[in-house]
């Protein structure tokens, strides 16, 4: 049994969007805590005297977590399209809680040897499965819950909460840096944020239990009540153009996002030479700017359309990545580094603020969560999940600028997709237009 569609009032939409978004925040906090604290726990799990090699190993595990995201996108996207957006969102937050708790409790290499990195990999696989299912389902939920006139604005809160989760991870890091010594952080303090994440996931679970189901899904479920439905994956494969559009939309966006958010902190330390504390502070305020930009650009897309905003991102990322990263690598001034990263974030927001709604608007209700989640997760696993590893490997080989050009080429490929695609604001397949 599925709950009745919620009343289409502004207050009802806002309550549902907040309930869904808080859970999204907690999930992404748990996901990004790994990256934020890798500088501290990498020596615990991967003993070596070389910081770049330690970070390379931790980045490899970060990438392994992404390998589960397509499976999560497939399994939970199918589950969301069959049993409801709410049910899938409850399951994803449970998996994230388990992964965070496992990382918090796993002993280091000195205590249990190679079992330590193995358990770390297992935890990231659970978290990857969770996040893989979270993206498509939450993008679908927020897009379906919004009204047509403000869909870009409301759906932008997926990345507002995603960035808020990342900010919260950095805020916890900054707080622990103030109360613990670097030795204490490396010895045991890095476990604290994972305990916080597991506890917060339980709070998110409670909030999601009280969410309303979307009207689009409830109506679709009622229409299919007496129909034997076929495989959702088979149905999705009848929409190859839409699937390939999601891949093209995501390719440049995911690499730019992970370069200038999760990898930026390591880049500031390992390449530009800032201290860990300086890098954390710069990253925190950069992400704070990004958080504010998301709803503004989402609302802009409701006025001018999705395609012009995507073109802004594509052109900016293609032309600006190489000079910006080159300057960032050679700056020693924290304000200059902050300014350069803000420029990158402004451009990046042309993708992040609206990518969820654009993808949701491509698909009909009965395969929307799967259609958004699976091709997105595959693309992120291949390109976003390997971005840090490729960047660090290029540095290890003495070819770091080659990574700048890699990001540029991927952004240019996405720009071609944006140039040729229709504006989904005017061709949306979400009901209630």
Q: How confident is the model at residue 222 (pLDDT cuts 50, 70, 90)?
A: low
Indicate whether 233 belongs to any domain: no
Using CA atoms, how far residue 289 sits from 167, 262, 313, 376, in Å, is: 10, 15, 16, 25
Show the domain range for 157.
11-216+239-427
Least confident of 35-44, 128-137, 217-226: 217-226
Indicate whether 221 belongs to any domain: no
Interval 244-302: pLDDT, tens: 999 999 999 999 999 998 889 889 998 888 988 899 889 889 989 999 999 999 999 99
Alpha carbons 320 and 157: distance in angstroms, whole number: 26
Q: What is the mean pLDDT of the chain?
A: 85
User: Residue 346 has which token pair?
Assistant: 């402004």
Rg (CA), the chain: 21
Indicate whether 432 belongs to any domain: no
Q: How confident is the model at residue 12 (pLDDT cuts 50, 70, 90)?
A: low
DSSP 385: T
Alpha helices by DSSP H, listed for 180-275, are 182-187, 192-209, 215-223, 232-236, 240-260, 262-270
Residue 340: pLDDT over 90: yes
DSSP 380: I
Residue 200: pLDDT over 90: no
Which of the listed ranges 26-35, 110-119, 153-162, 322-331 does the model predict with the highest average pLDDT? 322-331
CA angle, corner 62, sides to 58 and 68, nearest 5? 145
Indicate whether 225 belongs to any domain: no
Residue 362 CB-density burial (10 A; 0-12 exposed, 13-18 middle, 19+ buried): buried
- Check residue 202 and give its pLDDT: 85
Q: Which residues of 202-224 are buried (b: 16+ CB within 10 A; e: fewer)?
A: eebbebbeebbbbbbbbebbeee
Residue 13: pLDDT over 60: yes
Write the CB contacts of 155 (distance below 8 Å, at least 6 apart in sequence).
139, 142, 143, 146, 298, 354, 356, 357, 360
CB atoms within 10 A of CB 285: 15
Calculated CA dihedral for residues 235, 238, 244, 246, nearest 10 degrees: -40
Residue 313: pLDDT over 90: yes
Alpha carbons 342 and 108: distance in angstroms, whole number: 37
- Check: CB of residue 367 under 8 Å from CB of residue 74: no
The CATH number of the domain holding residue 191 is 1.20.1250.20
Mean pLDDT on 14-37: 78
Indicate whether 117 belongs to any domain: yes
3-state SS assignment for residue 423: coil
Alpha carbons 106 and 196: distance in angstroms, whole number: 15
Residue 385: pLDDT over 60: yes
Question: 3: closest CA among 226, 223, 228, 217?
Answer: 217
Alpha carbons 141 and 146: distance in angstroms, whole number: 9
What is the residue whose two structure tokens read 């009280």? 210
Mean pLDDT on 57-79: 79
Question: 165: closest CA among 133, 212, 122, 201?
Answer: 201
Residue 84 backbone dihedrals phi, psi, to 5 degrees: 120, 150
- Check residue 7 and give its pLDDT: 46
Indicate whether 3 belongs to any domain: no
Mean pLDDT on 398-402: 91
Q: Count structural domains, the chain.
A: 1
Full-model pTM: 0.81
Mean pLDDT on 114-143: 84
Mean pLDDT on 4-22: 66
Higher per-residue confidence, 272 vs 17: 272
């Amino acid at each position: 049994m599925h709950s009745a569609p919620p009343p289409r009032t502004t207050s009802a939409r806002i309550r549902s969007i907040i309930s869904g978004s808080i859970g999204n925040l907690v999930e992404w906090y748990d996901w990004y805590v790994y990256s934020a604290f890798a500088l501290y726990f990498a020596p615990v799990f991967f003993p070596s005297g070389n910081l770049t090699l330690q970070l390379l190993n931790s980045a490899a595990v970060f990438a392994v977590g992404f390998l589960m995201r397509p499976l999560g996108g497939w399994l939970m996207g199918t589950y969301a399209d069959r049993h409801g957006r709410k049910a899938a969102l409850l399951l994803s937050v449970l998996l994230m809680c388990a992964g965070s708790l496992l990382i918090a409790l796993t002993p280091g290499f000195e205590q249990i040897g190679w079992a330590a990195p193995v358990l770390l990999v297992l935890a990231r696989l659970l978290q990857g499965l969770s996040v893989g299912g979270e993206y498509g389902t939450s993008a679908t939920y927020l897009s379906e819950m919004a009204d047509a006139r403000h869909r870009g604005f409301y759906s932008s809160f997926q990345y507002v909460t995603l960035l808020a989760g990342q900010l919260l991870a950095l805020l916890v890091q900054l707080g622990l840096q103030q109360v613990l010594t670097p030795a204490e952080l490396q010895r045991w303090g890095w476990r604290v944020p994972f305990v916080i994440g597991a506890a917060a996931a339980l709070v998110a679970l409670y909030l999601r239990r009280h969410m309303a189901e979307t009207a689009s899904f409830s109506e679709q479920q009622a229409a299919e009540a007496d129909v034997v439905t076929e495989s959702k994956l088979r149905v999705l494969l009848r929409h190859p153009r839409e699937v390939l559009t999601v891949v093209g939309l995501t390719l440049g966006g995911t690499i730019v996002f992970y370069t200038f958010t999760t990898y930026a902190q390591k880049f500031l330390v390992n390449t530009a030479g800032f201290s860990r504390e300086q890098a954390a502070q710069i990253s925190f305020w950069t992400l704070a700017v990004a958080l504010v930009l998301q709803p503004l650009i989402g609302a802009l897309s409701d006025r001018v359309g999705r395609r012009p905003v995507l073109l802004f991102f594509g052109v900016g990322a293609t032309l600006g990545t190489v000079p910006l990263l080159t300057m960032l690598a050679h700056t020693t001034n924290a304000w200059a580094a902050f300014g350069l990263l803000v420029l990158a974030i402004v451009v990046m927001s042309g993708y992040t603020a609206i990518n969820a709604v654009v993808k949701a608007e491509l698909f009909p209700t009965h395969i929307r969560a799967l259609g958004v989640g699976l091709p997105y997760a595959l693309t992120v696993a291949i390109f976003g999940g390997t971005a840090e590893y490729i960047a660090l490997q290029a540095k290890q080989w003495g070819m770091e600028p080659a990574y700048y050009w890699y990001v540029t080429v991927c952004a240019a490929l996405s720009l071609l997709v944006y140039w040729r695609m229709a504006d989904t604001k005017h061709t949306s397949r979400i009901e209630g237009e």
